[in-house]
Each structure stands twice: as structure tokens, then as C-alpha cells.
Structure 1
Amino acid sequence: MHDRRPDYASGMSTDAPSPSGSRGISREAQSSIFRAGISGARPRVPVDPARLAKAARRALSTEAYAYLAGGAGSERTQAANRRAFERWQVWPRPLRDVSVRDLSTTLLGRRLPSPLILAPLGVMELAHPEADLAVARAAASAGVPAVLSGQASFPMEESAAAAPGAPRMFQLYWSASDELNESLVRRAEACGCSAIVVTLDTHLLGWRTRDLDLGYLPFTRGLGIAQYTSDPVFQRLVDERARDSAPAEAPPVRLTPRTVAAGITIARKGRRLTGGGLRESLRSPLPRAAVETFLDVFSTPALTWERLARIRSWTSLPVILKGIVHPDDAERTVAEGYDGVWVSNHGGRQIDRSVPTLDVLPEVAARVSGRVPVIVDSGVRSGADVAVALALGADLVALGRPYAYGLAVAGEPGVAAVIRNVLAELDITLGLSGHTAVSELGPASLRRAD
């Protein structure tokens, strides 16, 4: 099915961390928790994924939790993502020396200490004021690459500065303005991103019933659009809109890149961003024009393979396509010269009754045949889930909602705790199943449960 040392990994960057054998991150994690438990302390961030979600729900507003936790339609895709994991069982092989274990792997020539990455999650200010900055620092402390969201709460340059030297990529939502797309990509390259991840499955906004019932979309409140308001091309578009819509008798408004970005920031701070508070905050032409411009350009249903090819003239960085769920599209991704396939249904947020990513992963991996890395997300909740995904053909596994929940519960330490717990369970699953390296995981490591 899948060569765990695929062709794309033949090169290695000299600035990558050196992998080393481990006697168990799981032992360290368990020891720290149990030692603290002697004095009656319990983890601030729940270890159990279900309890973690409940703790986040208590910490978040109704609107914030609905946005972060919700899915499309009746949320059957979310449920199907989880059921897909339930169909597989780890098949242990004891009486093997597993005293030293190695979680390291390679991505695009860079050695990583584990096969875990953080999926791009937008509007993290809903969970915590430090949002993307806290996520970047926590990821860096674990050596886990973070994919900076296109719908971030802080500009990419600030996230990069928060974790200098850390591995990072940038998620591009292909907007209706190619000039804006190019500007975002060039900024990502300039701030040290090692790849561009183009999200393909949000060219139309999914039918998200929780948000619809609340009448809540954070972007209309000026949240999660910091990559745009900090961009010179977007600022010019806002300037043009504000000038065109200003009443003739109104005094001229001097719009500059700095005041456009500042205007939306001022509109968000210290005001209740619903009802009358929202109307008051958006009365100024600056934030109102920024929100309206964003809603106009955010995505385009006209994106095709032919138009996507333009990205090659904007950057020399590797380009990974995210939102691939059909083997034919995976094969074309390789044929068109892109550098990675990211199997994702957007965590069940875009299409109700979509195919579960884990179900299509083996066929996608077989079509790709080790020519480019395969990443998978959607439904991943634990280290055991990561092990199953690796065994079915993934090279890396992306974690999403759980780290957002950790952020909501405890900020940066919450994200770090979630990463640690997932890696600790992966480590112990590896050892208890009779393996000493993630490269050993394959179809023979699993058994069908049904």
C-alpha cells in the first residue's frame, strides 16, 4: 500500500531537528500527571477527548462553541469521520523489544520529531485573546509544524515572530482577487513559511446549521480577517470601496494601510459585537468597508485546475492541495506537479453526508504511491487515531478541533497539553502494539472491526 520511506523524502534539510530514540514521551506525560495527583491536583486540560470538548463548551460563548464545534447540515459527515476510525482495531504483537521508540518522520526534506501537524483553524480569537500567537508558540515548543490559517486573528508576520525558526506553512483560501492571492503567498514566503497549503473545499461556504440558527458568522463581526486587513492589496480594495460608497456631502476620510487595519481593530475592541453594539462598531466607513470587501472576495466558485496553476508564478515554495477526497483528484495533483495531497473534508464543516476521509485514505495513498506526501485530517481525536491513520497510508496526520478546545480551556499551555497528550498516546500505542518507529506502521498493524 504505502512505502513508509517514500521517494519525496530522499532529501534532508540541514537545519532540521535531528531525530533521536525516545524511551517514552508517554512515560514522561503519565509521570507528571500522576505525581501531581499525589497532592490532589488534576489536569487543568482534560486528557479524555470527550471531557476536553465539554470543558471547552463551558469556557466558550454559545456562538464561539457553535462555530468551532459545528459541522455542515445535520453533522452526519462529522459523525461518519469518527465512525471510520471505529472500524479499525490496532493489532498488538508482544514479545518485541520496544524500549526505545522513534516518532520522527520527514516532510518535504525536513526531519520532524513526530508525524503530527496542526491543521489551520480560523478565528482562534473566539477561543482565546492570544489566538494564533499562543498556537504558534505551543506548536514550536513541541517541534510540531503549524499551518497558519488564512482566517487568522493575527497577521502571519506576528505569528512567525511569536515562534521564530519554528516550522510553519500557510493556508491559502483562493479568493476572487488573484492580486490578493499573490500578495498573501508572497507574504507567507517572506515570513518563513515552508509551503503553501491551498484549501480547495471552501469555494462556497458550507450550510452550517448551528451558525445559521444563531445568525452568527464571525467574519461579519470583523473577526478572523487579520490576514486580509494587514495586506496592502486588500487595504487598497477597502480604500476604493469606502471612497465609492461615501456620501457626497460627507467629509473626506483619509484611508491609509495603517488606518484600514487599525479601524477594524478598534471596531472589535471593547464592544459587544452583536445587535446594537455591532451596528455601532461598524458604522465607521473603515471597518464596514473592510468587512464588506472581505465578504466579496473571500472565495470563488470559479476556481479550476487551470486557474490554480497561476500559483507557480507567484512562489517557488512547495504547494500542497488540501481538500482532496477522490483518488482521481489525488492522481491529478501529482500529475500537475503539486507537492502534497491533503485528504480532508474540512472536519465535516462543508458538506453533509460527505465521504469520511479515513475511508478514502488507503486508495488515495495507493494512487500517490509515495511520490508526494499524504496528509490526512478530519475526525482525529487521539494518539491511537494518529497510529491508525499512519497505518492506512498517511505520512502526516493533522490535528484540528482538540487543540482549539485546549486553547479555550487554558490558552497556550492548553494547546501544549493537547499536543503532548496526543503524542504520548501515539508513543504508547506504538510500543504496546510491538513497534519501535512510526515507519513500521502499515496495514498489517491493523484489523478490521466489522
Structure 2
Amino acid sequence: MKKKILVVDDDRAHARMLDTLITDWGYEVFLAEDGDRGVDMVQSQAFDMVLMDMKMIRMSGMEALGLIHEYNPSLPVIMMTAFSSVDTAVKALKIGAYDYLTKPIDFDKLRLTIERVMERIFLKTENKTLKDRLKQERFHHDILGKSQAMATLLDTIQMVAPTDANVLVTGESGTGKELVSSALHENSPRKDHAFVRINCAAITETLLESELFGHEKGAFTGAERKRKGKFLQADKGSILLDEIGEMSLGMQAKLLRVIQEKEVAPVGSDQSTRVDVRVIASTNRDLKAMSLAGEFRQDLYFRLNVVSIDIPALRERTEDIPELALHFLEQFSQKNKKDVKGFSPDAMDAMIRYEWPGNVRELMNAVERGVVMARSDYILREDLSFIQPDPAESGSLESGLENYSLSEIEEKTILSTLAAAEGNKSETARRLGITRKTLLKKLKQYGKA
């Protein structure tokens, strides 16, 4: 496949000249008439590099560079500038430009620069930059991310951790609920005492009572010796009740008593023991809705939900993906004794665009597979496990669409994506890989604007 180069220049004659020249060198060229259009195109499709003018009417090259690198830090951008703007070009290098060329453009130098980019020399530099930044910005307890959503999450942890309040940690599977729970304990006055974890969904109701509260010798068949339960093990520390939404109503009543009375009675004993435990519960279910439906005790819900921390899904903080991916890359390269240096631009672009239904856990698994499968120094798009064959290339259609026209399929896709995004047009445009302007135009055609 031809490498794709985006030329961003509001001088149409100059842009067409570059188009002709670079196309003759064997590349596929796309044109954007100003910085804002260039940013939109980068967000809607994958490119191998960007060649961009510094001075443009609607959005300067410097501003566009910042937005492009905020979206995809791995994408190399070469700036074009007049001799009088060299100082500005140097500033562009400092904020992430790969290189700059002065006008009038030296064609030989341009071709050499493009070839260097396509040989992926840039990857070593870009990935080193990201790794260095990752080390500087890494949050405590390996909670990674520079997005506003993660900043808010960390602020909440820092405020709540020093207190004794019970905390309900919610979020989709794979978002890092156990990591957040651990951060709450380790930043609390209880950090020098035990942090005990138990998965409520992995143990039957009978055994769960014994696991949580302990049992006396002979309390039931197989109880050959006395056993201390998780609550006593966590005395003066914290306990994480993972997947609390799977606990039966009967066990919920027993748990509520322990939380209210701050004492436990082992199975088979009439004697209670005082315990001082901070309770952290986590779930991917809507406990409020379950309590209203009678599927979860409302009084227990209120006891657990003194403070609620909701972890955003990875698709809601795509700007964190490069840092997370590089963190896992370094981790799994060492584990598998492979010297994988980074990701190709189209691989990084694919990761940014993907929905990640399995969230950070799925990203971690995808990067580990990519490291194992990498046949070069860099993980390529085809090394990523979530990449599926393009239906347009395979000639197959999703079941049930064979009888619709192309325009009808387009309309159904756009409207269903809009519904899935709960009416958020910016999010819908991002998921579809089109600009918001294009989306609004389409919705107007369907009478849905």
C-alpha cells in the first residue's frame, strides 16, 4: 500500500505543486486547504505523515500542530516556513514537529526528509519522547492518564483516601477498579495495615459467609479447624468487596449487620468480635437501579455508597491511550525479552479509534499480543488483535443489510451510532471517523438535525 501524506497549505497553487511532485515519488497525497481542515482530516482518517505550512488564514500551523499531536502524538508533522519564520519553526520543533523546511522548498531535501520519515527513523524519537513524558507524568499506583477525566478521578482519590468513609467504586469491566481501590487504601492512614480483597462472584453463598466472617472448627462439613475471616484479617485496614452486585440478598443482610455493628460472628459461634475495617466495594452494575428493583438492599447500598467513584471508560479518554500503550509496551517487552521500540503511526491511530469494550484490560492484552507477534522493531497495525478484516475488501455484508441501498445503510449506521452515543454529535462523528460538520450535514438530510 502507498504511504499516505497529508499536505496542509492555504496556497492552492503551492499545494497542487507539492501534490504533483510527491505523487510522482510514489506516495498517496491528500490536500487540506487550511489548518482546521487538516486537523479534521487527521481525526477522520489515518496518515503516515503531515506536511504543513506555518502561516494560514483560518488556523495557523502552530495551532494545528498542537491539536494534531494532542490527538496522535506518534504522527510526524513537517512544517514549511519562510526564512523570516525560522524562529517560530524552531518553537514548533519543541512542541512536537518532526522537522521543518524553508520556502522556497528544496525538492531534494523534501524527498530525503520524507524518506527518512517513511523509514520510521522518527519512531525512535517520538516513542522516546512519549516514554520520557510517561515517566514524568506517571500517577501514583500506576494510574496513568493526562486527560481531564483522570485528573478529576485522582483529585477525588486524594480527597477521599485520608478519610474513613466507605467507598463504592463503579465502572465497566477492565477500567481499573481494583487499582483505584488499592490507591484509596495506600493513601489512607490505614496503609500500614492489611488490604484484603475478595471476589464476591467467585464464591458460593455458603462459602462466602465463611470467607468473610470466618468459622469455628466443626461448624460445617469440612471445617476441620478454626478459620479467621477476611474482615478480621483486615482489622485496622481495608477490605475490597469486588463484584458486590453479585452478592445474594441473604448475604447482603449479614454484611449490612457487620458494617452497622462493626463486629463479626464466625460461622458456628455465638461470640462476636469487634473489627475496625474500611469497606471499599466495586461493581460494574448499577446498584441504584438494582436497589429500586428490589435486587439489591437499599439500606446496604446507602451504607456502601457514602462516596461514589466512577471510573471513565477508555473510549471516553482516548487521549490517554498513547501513554497507556507505551507503558504496557515497555512492561511486556521486558517480560518477553523483546526489544520492541514503539508503534507505527497507523497502529497508534487504530488504537486511538478503537472503542475498547474491554477497556484498559483489553488494551493491555492487545499490546502484549502485539509485542509477542511483532516481526520488526515496531508494532504494526496488523499485529493488533482487535483489527478485523475490512468488509469492503472481503465483499461480505453484515447479515440483513443485503436488501438495502448504500445510502440506506449509511443512514442506518449514522443513526444507530448517534443513538449509541446518546445523542452526542461530537462523539458520534469520532466513532464514525467523519467530521462533525459532515455529520450535521447528513443528519439534516435525514431530517434529524
Range into which the TM-score falls when normalised by the shorter chain: under 0.3
Rg larger for: 2
Q: Which has the higher contact order (CA 8 A, sep 6+)?
A: 1
After TM superposition, the score normalised by the length of structure 2 is: 0.25
